[in-house]
Structure 1
Amino acid sequence: MPADELRVGESRTLRFEGRPHGSGISFFLVENTPGQGPGLHRHPYSETWTVLEGEATIRAGGETLVARAGDTAVVGAGVWHGFTNTGSGVLRIMCVHASDVMIQEWLHEQ
């Protein structure tokens, strides 16, 4: 499927939900500039990240870790998490949701 069909608005981020395509997973392929990233949120399923380019500081539960190109991190179901591009260039990160639909709850909406 063409990237333009998955693009989120005018951003460089792609969003794929698996259910309509017979896939058991969903994902975001994110491109962020320094300082960008999603705030704290959680899902009722696990999420796995792989950094493709750049550097991300990931917060998950009470832990903070820095992940760079080639690194993978996993957060369990129900754990508050988020990440920020803390590098000096573009962050490209694949965020795989272990669900055929995306379900997100944002902390700031609590």
Structure 2
Amino acid sequence: MAYVIDREVWAEHPERWHGEVTGKPYGTNVSIIFNSQDRKGAGPRLHRHPYTETFIIRKGHARFRVGDRIIDAHEGQIVICPANTAHKFENLGPGTLETIDIHANEVFITEWLE
């Protein structure tokens, strides 16, 4: 069966690129976070997952920590974080950071490290 997931299902606000969808209800092993950070320095705390996470930078600039590596990424780039690797990112500014965070799992499993 094919599915179409409307924005109203995943978006937390009709005008912001922010929300999430888990794949399990749709029979897929992929879950997605649509992330929008307006404030410089904003982003998730250090954490890890037992699966790979892929970040597509849709808009803006971000600083990622992936294991011991620091990566400055910008619009149009893709950052891949291996399974079980501690990571976080923050909006470097100026302006809004938008990412599409693809979790290679049917549900989110997160271990917060800070």
TM-score (norm 1): 0.91
Which residue identity lines up with residue 5 of structure 1 in the other structure?
A: V
| Equivalent residue in structure 2 for 1:49, among 44, 55, 62 | 55
2:66 matched residue in structure 1 = 60
For residues 97 and 111 of structure 2, what CA distance do their matches in structure 1 show? 23
Structure 2 unmatched ranges of 5 or more: none
For residues 53 and 92 of structure 1, what CA distance do their matches in structure 2 show? 5
2:34 matched residue in structure 1 = 29
1:72 aligns with 2:87: no
Does structure 2 conserve the Cα–Cα contact (< 8 Å) formed by 1:3 and 1:14? no
Matches within 5 A, 1:79-94: 79-94=85-100
Which residue identity lines up with residue 21 of structure 1 in the other structure?
A: Y
For residues 37 and 8 of structure 1, what CA distance do their matches in structure 2 show? 17
For residues 88 and 14 of structure 1, what CA distance do their matches in structure 2 show? 22
For residues 58 and 8 of structure 1, what CA distance do their matches in structure 2 show? 24
TM-score (norm 2): 0.88
Structure 1 unmatched ranges of 5 or more: none
For residues 4 and 63 of structure 1, what CA distance do their matches in structure 2 show? 36
For residues 72 and 107 of structure 1, what CA distance do their matches in structure 2 show? 23
- Measured on the aligned residues, the alpha-carbon RMSD in Å equals 1.7
SS at match of 2:29: coil
Q: How far did residue 7 of structure 1 move?
A: 3.1
Comparing 38-47 with 19-28, greater Cα deviation is found at: 19-28
